[in-house]
Structure 1
Amino acid sequence: MKYAIAFAAMLASTGASAAVITSSVGGVPVGANVYESFDAIGPGGTTASGITVSFAGTGAGTASLPNVSGQYAAPFISGGNGALFGNAQADGQDATQYLTTGIGTVTLDLGDSHQYFGILWGSVDTYNSLTFYDGNTLLFTYSGSDVAAAANGDQGAAGTYYVNINSDTAFNKVVASSSSYAFEFDNVALAHDPITDVPEPGMLALFGLGAIGLAATRRRKV
């Protein structure tokens, strides 16, 4: 199985925020406060965990198997990383409801401030991005190119990453966006404080928050 780890100090437009990111095929956090599967979204877009979901643009919304060619494809469950989200299925394409940006956005109003965000990110493309806010203040943006050097929309198991993001500044809103079809995701995890226990094969550990402007990227194969 292939694993990729990326560490980045990322700046907001104010120059005041930085984040450390890890991404891997098959990874998953342990120790989050919230594990959201998006299997049930109630009136007003609110989930049981208190996240409010809203959609804008062409094709943005919920999706499930079967895939629709040219529009969306389900992320992959790997290494049993759906279990914390109530998904006990065997490894393979996510058989539960997930979210897709289409050519547009999915906004997650978190209902509280957090410093950790985890996401099952499928078929990662360079034109996919996550933007983090504290209210209306932009903190930082994280693109598909930051997840994997070859962010080419691979719809197989090797193209889905569990991405873990720790921020030195608390955020309460995350906007997933894509300028082309598509950005599919599921199984978001949240924590009020950064998570330092993010088990990966080989017990890889998160590095501490980097100095602003410092970035390091490392890839390895097992």
Structure 2
Amino acid sequence: MKRLFALTGAAVAMLSVGMISNSANAAIFLTQGGTASGTAGVVSASGPVTYDFSSTFAPLTANVGSVLYTSGTVDGVSAAPFGDSTAYASVGSNVTPQSATLSLGAGVNYLGFYWGSVDQYNTLELFNGTTSLGVFTGSQILDPANGFQGATGSAFVNFNTYGTTAITSAVFTSSQKAFEFDSITTGVPEPSTWAMMVLGFAGLGFLGYRRRTGNVNFRVV
């Protein structure tokens, strides 16, 4: 089932399927489900760089302590997103509360990632410079957001501005253990992609949860 939200500032409004923002203000659209495109590794302006979350991820910095990069599940520390057998990032495993900022340079229109064992105390805030574009909690992604480690406890989430503004950074915060995520993907959609998404909102939609089959990837397209 697809969940769709539009955010203006810190306000959150539930939208019906098929509705696109009719506001002149910047809005962020959230859909749940689908599969990230692209192959493993980082693709940036300087060319492809392979990255598998096996060590420090340069664009991701913690406000205190360090982000945990690990694989598998360790009770009381972190839980691998469902179906994820590769390395992933975990905020709040080494110290709580903890935040980690993902820097996106000049900005992107799209940010997607695999959100593992979603908890109500997991929070994502998106920024354009120092201006907050919106805050998402785990409870807005799943109900209940109770850290369930089975298939229905993880979700691939997609945040898209469709050119209304640029997302220059994303802050992942967890007040308890932990906020696990993987498969970070960013991009600026082509006009044809926008048209396809309109059709999707009209009724095609994404179905099911993202099942990972490859390595972690951070991709600018």
TM-score by length of 1: 0.68
Listed as ranges, the matches of 1:97-176 within 5 Å are: 97-102=87-92, 103=96, 104-167=98-161, 168-176=164-172
User: Gapped runs of 5+ residues in structure 2?
Assistant: 12-22, 45-49, 210-221
Structural RMSD (CA): 3.4
Q: Distance in 1 between matches of 2:43 and 2:158?
A: 14
Cα 1:34/1:137, change in 2 over 3 Å = farther
CA contact (8 A) 1:98 1:184 kept: yes
How many Å separate the matches in 1 of 2:166 and 2:8?
14
Contact map agreement 2:121 2:175 (CA 8 A) in 1? yes
Q: What is residue 53 of structure 2 aligned with on the other side?
A: 39
1:10 aligns with 2:33: no
Say how many residue pairs are matched.
Answer: 179
CA offset digits 1:148-203 (Å, max 9, x no partner): 1221111122211000111232111001111111110010110123754889xxxx
> Taking structure 2 as the reference length, what is the TM-score of the superposition?
0.68
Amino acid across the alignment from 1:205: G
Q: Quick check: 1:130–1:142 contact (8 Å CA) kept in 2?
A: yes
**Structure 2 contact 55–69 (Cα < 8 Å) conserved:** no
8 Å Cα contact 1:22-1:206 kept in structure 2: no
Mapped to 2, the partners of 1:158 and 1:74 lie a distance apart of 13
Q: Which residue of 2 aligns with 1:74?
A: 80
Point out where structure 1 has 5 or more consecutive residues left out of the alignment: 47-51, 77-91, 208-217
Match of 2:63 among 49, 56, 59: 56
Q: CA deviation at 1:132?
A: 0.6
* RCO comparison, higher one (Cα < 8 Å, 6+): 1
* Counterpart Cα distance in 2 of 1:156 and 1:149: 14
Q: CA deviation at 1:106?
A: 1.6
Is 1:22 aligned with 2:31? yes
